[in-house]
Amino acid sequence: MGKKDGGDCDHGALVTMMTMIVMLLIMAMVVSFASSASAAAASSQLRRNLLANGLGLTPPMGWNSWNHFNCKIDEKIIKATADALVSTGLSKLGYTYVNIDDCWAEIARDHKRNLVPKKSTFPSGIKALADYVHSKGLKLGIYSDAGYFTCSKTMPGSLGHEEQDAKTFAAWGIDYLKYDNCNNDDSKPTVRYPVMTRALMKAGRPIFFSLCECMISRADMNEVYAEFARPGGWNDPDMLEVGNGGMTKDEYVVHFSIWAISKAPLLLGCDVRNITKENMEIIANKEVISVNQDPLGVQAKKVRSEGDLEIWAGPLSGYRVALLLVNRGPWRTAVTAHWDDIEIPTNSVVEARDLWEHKTLKARFVGNLTATVDSHACKMYVLKPVS
């Protein structure tokens, strides 16, 4: 998907974007940035306060409208998607956010300078839509921008209206704000984003804050920022493309596996109202989801890369290790993960659970694990030392 005119940040899955997700506790507090030391202390205290709020302890899961619908959204689609998340059982697996992306508002604010839902597509208003989504046991997300207009240029951004818009979102019952970086005044995002942060803190409602800024060109380099991921903040290579076409089943499995082991938010980007059984089996894999939602909250890294072969690994709770073997090449190939690469003691005897085959392998492994991986496919395991 191409970049929208005037935008720093694209919405597609293969875009030049990384999002640092920050969960906000909405409370009155003053943070001093008088010095680097006080800023660091304030940041540490803020994270502790945010964790106490109970939001963002694990990567958020849900759905976002952009990848499939782009600007062609309306309240009927949002309601039907909420219904589908419940009827398919996806909400019980953790997919609870229903996020409206760009193009939901009128091009002009009202006479009081408030954002106005588009009458032709959201005639009932956002508050009524939030009430409907909440009645399903789900949460509603919305989109804005730290610029004068959003990336689509079809609606106003929040630059200069941060406090007013934050109060509006809170009054509507919004649970999640995706905040983009298009059509701005050329000041740094690090200057503009905190303004909305502080506005949300004073708005009177817990809102999960998703910040968008261009950083890298490939989602698989997400691990470069792995040290920043932890409960309260997650790196996000963008929404999932499973179900949108353009990939084989095996490629969808690789895509979903990398997102899961990287502790990326699992935000579906397809039309969940009409998802196929095959794609449902991918996004509803409880064992892979459990890796993503593991309470230890440590993002996996690409620990070895040799040509088209990659080994990803990261620690899980209970002294376990998540392991992903990826073959990007054109041929079926054996891939070996060595214990010293994935921080398992060399002489450990390890039990391996295959998360896509849903079976524990009969063999025990010492020193390494080798698996034959098909072209453009992967193998994903949870490894547990047994002696």
pLDDT along the chain (387 residues), means of 10: 40 36 34 42 58 74 96 98 98 98 97 97 98 98 97 96 97 96 91 93 91 54 58 65 94 96 94 96 98 93 93 96 97 97 94 98 97 97 95
**In one letter, which amino acid is 88?**
T
pLDDT for the residue 189: 87
Residues 6+ apart with CB under 8 A from 289: 61, 93, 94, 260, 266
Alpha helices in the chain (DSSP H): 36-52, 66-69, 75-87, 126-135, 162-172, 189-201, 249-261, 277-283, 286-292
pLDDT for the residue 151: 95
pLDDT for the residue 26: 33
pLDDT for the residue 18: 38
Distance between the two ends of the chain, CA-based, in angstroms? 49
Q: What is the pTM of this model?
A: 0.84
The encoded tokens of residue 101 equal 């992306």
Residue with tokens 């920050």: 22
Q: How many helices (H) and strands (E) does the chain have?
A: 9, 17
The encoded tokens of residue 361 equal 């392998």
The encoded tokens of residue 40 equal 């660091």
pLDDT for the residue 85: 98
Number of residues assigned to the chain: 387
Cβ atoms 323, 365 nearer than 8 A: no
